[in-house]
Amino acid sequence: MQTEKSFKSEIFNIIPLTAREKLFHIKICDAYEREKFTFLPGQFVMLELPGCGEVPISISSSISNKDFIELCIRKVGKVTGLLHRLEPGAIVGIRGPFGTHFPMQKMVGCNILLIAGGLGIVPLRSTIYWANEHRSDYKDITILYGAKEPGQILFDYQFEEWHKIFDLKILTIVQNRAENWEGRVGLITDLFDEVPIDPDNTFAIVCGPPVMFKFVFAHLTNVGISRQRMFLSLERRMHCGMGKCCRCNVGSIFTCLDGPVFDYWTVMNLKEAI
Amino acid sequence: MLFRTITKENFKKMVEGLMEENEVIGPKSRDRDKEGNKIYRFLKLNCFDELEMDYTRSYSSPKDYFLPFKEDLATYRLENNGWDQKIHYTIHPRIIIGMRACDINALLKLDQVMLKSAYPNPYYFARRRNTLIIGLDHEPLEDCFCRSMNTDTASHGFDLFLTDIGDRYFAAINSDTAYIVLNRFNAREVREEDQLRYKKVKKQIESKFKTQVDITILPELMDLEFESEVWKKWGDKCLSCGSCAMVCPTCYCYGVEEDIDLSFTQATKRRFLYSCNLIDFATVAGGYNFRPDAHIRLKYRYYHQFRGFEEAFNQSLCVGCNRCGKACPAGISPKAVIDDLIKTEKE
């Protein structure tokens, strides 16, 4: 795709997920460009509302879905606030895909442990679809998912289906106790007691708020997983997605070009990263 | 490289000739500072006499002509639930006269980011390719440390580079366009006496560097002294105004904003120069700031210039012009910060 040109895309379906998040189904209008558009799990696009602004959003759908992409967007700022007010049929701009991806090929033959906190499940969703489509390549797939409150759990309507069809294990936990919640209460690290990890045969993908990384990686390191087998997606402010505006610069790297996906070893050696 | 000499009289004719068909930009004095010294800027020249070849240092660098403070990236026509995007990359050819070696080297550093890395910047590309650069040697100012940064001479990145050797300029030619122009205005082959005079001038320039900044161990030091008190000391002085980045010939951080007009039919996507010292530089949606304190942002600026860029492109981003030191209202100069850092390491 060209660098500065955004492609007209139609939002044709909007699924409200929680009070703050909606899932947008977006189709690039031009059939040729739509066909050309490919991405890998972990990559993101710059989504633009002309006249309002541009935001980096992780792609949340399966890479084999050539018709449209799914973007799960939390209402936090000017652009996302306006996006939440759009109706199906609205036209937005898309540039990308940008960034690095989770190295799914490297993980062939191993267990995959996906650890998500809050909105962190969004980029992991395309990983889950990938793992399903190449199910025989991987051994056990486990998802540990923590949210603040039960009402903030994303994609829970799909969990049952994933569990059955994809043959994977999902454990959820919430931080704040709530009525009608019969599941676990606590921090995401509490779930580790319930998951036996085979360190030599496991890759971990971690996505969530910065505060979560430290504790999760400390545990995974203690268990014995190599730091180069743990991956994470870093969040930073981005204005261009092309390594020029420097807004996402951390130490000597650019999150948009060299990331957002990094292995823990790299991040550990980056000042200011987590 | 090819060398010629051109008399000052012919050089004047050459500039006037170029002015007839092109936009010519050069150093002009616009005002005086509180000590009564002239303040120079690179501005469009209307006649040769406006060109001040003996200028000391322009307040901001000619970077403004390649990465302008503000530029429109795209315009949109909004219509019935849709829009039409228009992008213009083209510019008219222009000539910049009198660029210093450090500023030429600064452009070469910007080239690394804007042209030679992933996703070349087409706006910058258009400006770079359509600008003829005529460089000019000069004696260093007291606070210049370009020699320490290895940017006091330029071997490429220009079309023509002039050294004043009395009644004529000694010209290094780096492009066919410059060669053709020079020949049109009676440049002559270099004679032995020209060469001797050139060497003498070069030696004289070399001997006049007073300020030295040791940056050889900086990349390593940036990591070792990441938690140093030096950052706090200087950061507490920093006003987080971003003046340093605005006048810096290499700072390229930017922000993008989009505006919509009152009739809701037109929108513009605009790029504007930003600074990592400004408070919201690293604030993400939701309000979390990755660099909330002034000293952390100040440290980041040095880290990017002397460590991050070094790792990516094997050179530091600073060219030693000390414009940032001059412009800083809090009196923070890179030499002082770096010296302090090195001193702490030795203690």
A180 touches chain B (CB under 8 A): no
pLDDT of B91 reads 86
Nearest-by-CA chain A residue for B306: A252
Q: Which residue in this structure is represented by tokens 């449209």? A: A68
Q: What is the identity of the amino acid at B263?
A: S
Concatenate the DSSP letters of all residues of A210-226 into one string. Answer: HHHHHHHHHHHHHHT--
Is A246's CB within 8 Å of B254's CB? yes
φ/ψ of residue A116, rounded to 5: -125, 145
Q: Is the link from the previous residue into A209 a cis peptide, with omega within 30 of 0?
A: no
Identity of the residue in B81, B83, B282 whose CB atom sits nearest the CB atom of A237 = B282
- One-character DSSP codes across B29-73: EEEE-TTS-EEEEEEE-SSGGG--TT---BSS-GGGGTS-SEEEE
A2 pLDDT higher than 70 = no
How large is the angle between the packed helices A121-133 and A156-165, nearest 10 degrees? 20
Interface test with B, best of A46, A58, A246, A274 (most B CBs within 10 A): A246
Peptide bond into A97 cis (omega under 30): yes
Residue B89: partners with Cβ closer than 8 Å, 6 or more residues away: B122, B123, B125, B126
- pLDDT score for B344: 85
Q: What is the spatial distance between Cα B272 and Cα B73, in angstroms, rounded to a whole number?
A: 10
Q: Residue A1 pLDDT more than 50? A: no
Give φ, ψ of B62 to 5 degrees. Answer: -65, 0
Is the pLDDT reported for residue A71 higher than 80? Answer: yes
Burial class (CB in 10 A: 0-12, 13-18, 19+), B117: middle
Structure tokens belonging to residue A113: 């442990």
Q: Does A184 touch chain B (CB under 8 A)?
A: no
B178 within 8 A of B6, measured Cβ to Cβ: no
Q: What are phi and psi of B211, to 5 degrees?
A: -90, 130
The structure tokens 């600073």 sit at: B318
Write down the pTM of the prediction.
0.92
Chain A hits for B250, Cβ within 8 Å = none
* CA distances, B167 to each of A51, B7, B191 (Å): 56, 6, 14
Render pLDDT for A87-144 as a digit per residue (tens, 0 to 9).
999 999 999 899 999 999 999 999 999 999 989 999 999 999 998 889 899 999 999 9
Q: What is the pLDDT of residues A156-193, one digit of tens each?
A: 888 888 888 878 889 999 998 888 888 889 999 998 88
Tokens representing residue A115 in the block: 């650890």
With an 8 Å Cβ cutoff, are A243 and B259 in contact?
Answer: no
Confidence of residue A3 (pLDDT cuts 50, 70, 90): low
Q: Quick one: which of A252, A106, A35, A46 has its CA closest to B316?
A: A252
Separation CA B302–CA B299 (nearest Å): 5
pLDDT in tens, A202-249: 999 999 988 899 899 999 999 999 999 999 999 888 888 888 898 898
> How far is residue B7's CA from residue B39's CA, in Å, rounded to a whole number?
28
- Torsion angle (degrees, nearest 10) of CA A53, A28, A127, A257: -50
pLDDT of res. B124: 92
Strand order in the sheet with A141-147: A184-185, A169-174, A141-147, A111-117, A202-207, A230-233, A261-263
pLDDT greater than 60 at residue A59: yes
Give the Cα separation of A125 and A131 in Å (integer): 10
Candidates A8, A239, A249; nearest CB to B255: A239
Largest separation between any pair of C-alpha atoms in chain B: 73
Instruction: List the pLDDT tens digit at each of the 347 positions of chain B.
Output: 899 999 999 999 999 999 998 999 999 988 888 888 888 999 999 999 988 888 888 888 899 999 999 999 999 999 877 888 999 888 889 999 999 999 999 999 999 999 998 889 999 999 999 999 999 998 888 888 888 888 888 889 999 999 999 899 999 999 999 999 999 998 899 999 999 999 999 999 888 888 888 888 888 888 888 888 899 999 999 999 999 999 999 999 999 999 999 988 999 999 999 999 999 888 888 888 889 999 999 999 999 999 888 888 989 999 999 999 989 999 999 999 998 888 887 77
Q: What DSSP string runs through B63-131? A: GGGTS-SEEEEEEEEEETTEEEEE-------EEEEEE-HHHHHHHHHHHHHHTSSSS--HHHHHHHHTE
Residue B63's nearest CA partner among B240, B243, B245, B241 is B245
Give every CB contact of residue B16 below 8 A, 6+ residues apart in sequence. B47, B48
Instruction: For B69-94, give one letter per residue: b (16+ CB within 10 A) or e.
Output: eeeebbbbebeeeebebeeeeeeeeb
Q: Residue B255: its chain A contacts at CB < 8 A? A: 239, 245, 247
